[in-house]
Amino acid sequence: MQKNFKPHPNSFKNTFCVFNEVLPEVIKGLKIQFESKAGSTYYYTEAGMYRVSNHWGRLANSKWRLVAMDPDTSSKTKTGFAAWSEFYPDNTEEKLYYIEADYNKNTVNYQHKNNPEYDKKAILRTGFETTKRIRQIRNLQQLTSWAKYYEADIDVLRKQFVSELIYTEKTLDEIKREI
């Protein structure tokens, strides 16, 4: 018989969390302990929270992301798990986020400074500043028109621009002028 666990007191309001997708079979036998108006279901355990949902990202006043096992799957509804220790505080004033890029996959994302993998090299920014930089990085990754004035390999340039946006306070215009 499943115990009725309560959610960790700091897990819902103003939090950032990265859930990892798990197989739906993992929650078989667990009792739904909360269902949102949008249809997401929540299962609390001693170790953490399972969430079954067809929407991830901004949730009311929290930022919850899902790392999918297979991002190309057609199923929109996914089951994710996060340990209670992986819910980090979020607010609009503090510099809580850093950006990380995967140059091989040409992707970019943000992480919380409390992430144990944070190497303290990337600049910390507020959520708003982070969102603005990510938008600039995605444009650099997805478009090529910006590179037509440079006489260099676009992949080398792209990596240089993205690195500068992650590891310095320089604006994109400053970076363009310097290169």
Instruction: Print pLDDT tens along the chain (179 aa).
Output: 455 666 666 667 899 999 999 999 999 999 999 998 999 999 999 999 999 999 998 777 889 999 999 877 777 899 999 999 999 999 999 999 999 999 998 999 999 999 999 999 999 999 999 999 999 999 999 998 888 888 888 889 999 999 999 999 999 999 989 98
Q: What pLDDT is stored for residue 171 in this prediction?
A: 96
166 to each of 15, 66, 163, how far by Cα in Å? 23, 22, 5
Query: Does some domain include residue 107?
Result: yes
**Same domain membership, residue 161 and residue 112:** yes
**Same domain membership, residue 102 and residue 31:** no
Residues near 90 by Cβ (< 8 Å), separated by ≥ 6? 14, 15, 16, 61, 62, 63, 96, 112, 127
Give all strands (DSSP E) within 2-96, no chain letters. 15-22, 34-35, 41-44, 48-53, 57-59, 62-67, 78-83, 88-89
The range of the structural domain enclosing residue 27 comes to 15-88
Q: What pLDDT is stored for residue 175 in this prediction?
A: 94
Domain boundary among 88, 108, 127: 88
**Same domain membership, residue 73 and residue 24:** yes
**Number of structural domains in the chain:** 2
Domain boundary among 41, 62, 88: 88
Q: What pLDDT is stored for residue 6 in this prediction?
A: 65
Query: Does some domain include residue 26?
Result: yes
Q: What is the pTM of this model?
A: 0.87
Query: Does some domain include residue 5?
Result: no
**Same domain membership, residue 72 and residue 41:** yes
**Same domain membership, residue 134 and residue 114:** yes
Q: What pLDDT is stored for residue 3 in this prediction?
A: 58
Query: Does some domain include residue 9?
Result: no
Torsion angle of C-alpha atoms 4, 8, 12, 15, degrees rounded to 10: -150
**Same domain membership, residue 84 and residue 101:** no
| Gap between the Cα atoms of 39 and 162, Å rounded | 38
For residue 73, how many C-alpha atoms fall within 13 Å in the half-sphere facing its CB?
Answer: 12
